[in-house]
Amino acid sequence: MNQPISVSKRLLYLDWLRVLAVLAVFIFHSGRFFDQYPWHVKNAVTYASVQFFSMFFSSWGMPLIFVISGASLYFAVDKMGKFVVDKTLRLLVPLVVGVFTHISIAVYLERLTRHQFFGSFFEFYPTYFQGMYDQGGNFAWMGLHLWYLLVLFVYSLVFLPVFYVLKLKIRPALDWLGRAAVLPGVVYLLALPVMAIAMRIDPTTPLGNHNMGGWSVLAYIPFLFYGFLFSSNAGLQARLKDGRWVTLALSLAVTCGLVYAYNLYGNTVYPTRPYAIINGGYALMAWLWILTIFGFAIRHLNFARPVLAYANEAVLPFYILHQTVLLVIGFYVTSWRIPDLAKFGIIASSSFVVVMALYEFAIRRVNILRVLFGMKARPALKPSLAPAAGEAD
């Protein structure tokens, strides 16, 4: 465990985790047609088994993405001005573009499904701006699933001074936190702030509601900081890798205990003791699975492949588009008279192909689309590198 404290080289496992996490979100949303939670478009028949998967993934899915985002922020905070510009272009621009374009399609399909509107999309679009979506209206100002971009943008800017000072001004304090987390068992105690938020914040309040990835928006703050801490300390990464099997065993044990608690208490109400037990256990389970995933990723995914560079560039446009494409295809497929498992397979596979085709043949190749979907524009070809007149292309 006596490894160098500082981390400077690119952590390839973070790139793999980012790609795999977004693919997991895609699979999760492909199943949302069939679980028992309300969603924009639903299949006629829903399943408790899919509901269990949805609950399990919701416990660690978006928290994992925020930990990955925090880990990436560590490498980006050196120049504050460049950081602000980069986050504006990468997060805020595609959010605004999405809110005024394809997100309106998702709201339209939801209104059709719930028989709240009858007519074409072009007839619906003017009504899209009538009232806020989360208050009974149509305008999805947070972008539905794009809420992640907004929250990450706000948190990145709000906490930028803290991250900057920790890394560049009081680095010994950050190193001390990393060394403390390396001590046996301490990394598990990092669950306590998340557990406190899950247990104590009223879910009926704007900051406490679970409409953003199944968590209070406040819970993502410690996850973001923990990712930053992970990237800052090689010894802590080694601790996660070396302890991965123990963490996996703890994750399984807590998951089984939480299933038992759900069966014992059923639906709970804030601020009762059963509510605190269920939600505290939920937070602990989430943190343990995140540590498990990081431990195995550090051990097995710290390598480069040509596909990784391609996938890492595609991951943000894929995330931005995937839910809208799923909803458009699912809106039609869920009405077909075929087995529901076949519906899932068709929705997931065809949506993946459509999103990747949109990315490969449009977004990736057109600079203005690259910028609108959070990518960097490709530099113009230098005259000296352009083919001469009459030269074969």
Indicate if the pLDDT at residue 381 is higher than 90: no
Nearest in space to 223 (alpha carbons), one of 193, 186, 244: 193
* Stretch 342-371: mean pLDDT: 98
What is the model's pLDDT at position 322? 98
pLDDT band for position 391 (cuts 50, 70, 90): very low
Six-digit token string for 198:
């899950």
* Tens-digit pLDDT profile for residues 115-169: 999 999 999 999 999 999 988 899 999 999 999 999 999 999 999 999 999 999 9
DSSP for 237-262, please give it: HHHHHHTHHHHHHHHHHHHHHHHHHH
Q: CA geometry: angle at 11 spanning 219 and 149, to 5°?
A: 40
Percent of the chain with pLDDT over 70: 94
- Between CA 310 and CA 305 the distance in angstroms is 9
Mean pLDDT across 7-16: 82
Is residue 6's pLDDT more than 60?
Answer: no
61-115 pLDDT tens trace: 999 999 999 999 999 999 999 999 999 999 999 999 999 999 999 999 999 999 9
Per-residue b or e along 173-185, where b marks 16 or more CB atoms closer than 10 Å to that residue's CB: ebbebbeebbeee
Per-residue pLDDT tens for 210-231?
A: 999 999 999 999 999 999 999 9
Residue 4 has pLDDT above 60, yes or no: no
What is the reported pLDDT for 382? 54
Q: Where are the domains of the chain?
A: 12-385
**Average predicted confidence (pLDDT) for the chain:** 93
Q: Which residue has the tokens 């003017």?
A: 126
